[in-house]
Amino acid sequence: MRVLKSKFLFAFTIFYGYSSIKRGFIYVLTYLSIPLAELFLIYIITHGTFVKFAIIGGLISVMANNGFSSIGDFVFLRLESRLQDLLVATQIGPSDYIIGLMLANLLYTLPGIALYVILSIVYKVINLMNFFPLLVTMILLLFTTSSIGFFLASLVPHTRYGWGLAGLLSSILTIVPPVFYPYTFLPKNVYLALLPIPTTASAIFAQGITGLINVNQNMLYISFIILFIEAIIFLSLSVRFSRWREI
């Protein structure tokens, strides 16, 4: 079994996460802008009725956008800065690289995560009973979307396509699935068709585990198992089939 390079993970997190935040804190606000705008709109439109769904949806959206937006970062580092070429020539593997960028981007999203956790506590969405399973779900979602991002980024031929694809996936996969509204609003055949999407599976599990909506145990187990399996499969696929070589 391959051991992750902990020193590389720490150094890359400081290099691409902490130092970047020091140079441009505005990017932290960028990660927060869309979920907060959606939270505001949902609060206004529903007169506060669905604000708890918007809080959970915002947390899921922040974590998913972390992974999807990494497409642009991976493409930039591969085609423009050529950093990936340097790493390929070392003992660093694609799994180290994926997790390193994932941790670096996670620093950007920590203020947003903290904000949604505080809102969840204020609105009594999170408690001691559901905190841990919700945390595990968010970690699995982060691994899944980051792995998808790395795999797709390895196929993108130009940097501008990478940023465009990242924005497109972030918008579609956090707005169309039942992330900000109860999944029961959709016909059964529709939400079952959307269930393989990581944001759908995590939203259904989160809505059920936090008690926002009555989700039967079978659906809870199914949504969590889907997310768990997808995290393993997409990480394996990205490591096995992505272009981890000098361009």
Q: Looking at residue 31, what is its pLDDT? A: 66
Weakest-pLDDT range from 67-81, 124-138, 224-238 = 67-81
State how far Cα 14 lies from the chain centre: 20
Measure the CA–CA gap between 36 and 90, rounded to whole angstroms.
41
User: Residue 183 gets which letter from DSSP?
Assistant: G
Output the pLDDT for position 154. Answer: 81
Q: Is the pLDDT of residue 227 over 90?
A: yes
Please compute the mean of the pLDDT values over residues 191-207 and round it to a whole number.
Answer: 93
What is the structure's pLDDT at 3? 58
Per-residue pLDDT band at 244 (split at 50, 70, 90): low
| Predicted local confidence at residue 197, as pLDDT | 93
Indicate the angle between helix axes 217-241 and 131-153, nearest 10 degrees: 30
Q: Cα–Cα distances in Å, from 162 out to 95, 203, 243?
A: 20, 26, 15
Average pLDDT, the chain: 84
Residues 70, 102: contact at Cβ < 8 Å? yes
Look at residue 247 and tell me whether its pLDDT is greater than 80: no
Higher pLDDT, 41 or 60: 60
Q: What is the pTM of this model?
A: 0.86
Give the pLDDT confidence score for residue 141 in this predicted structure. Answer: 93
Share of the chain above pLDDT 70, in %: 91
Confidence at residue 78, expressed as pLDDT on a 0 to 100 scale: 81
What is the gyration radius of the CA atoms in the chain, in angstroms? 18
Model confidence pLDDT, tens digit, residues 7-37: 888 888 888 777 777 776 676 777 667 667 7
pLDDT of 160 = 79
Q: What pLDDT does residue 170 have?
A: 82
pLDDT of residue 243: 65
Residue 94 vs residues 5, 31, 158, 188, 223: alpha-carbon distances, Å: 11, 25, 20, 38, 28
pLDDT higher than threshold 80 for residue 180: yes
> What percentage of the chain has pLDDT greater than the value 90?
23
Question: Over the stretch 80-109, which tens digit does the pLDDT of each residue have?
Answer: 888 888 888 788 888 888 888 888 888 878
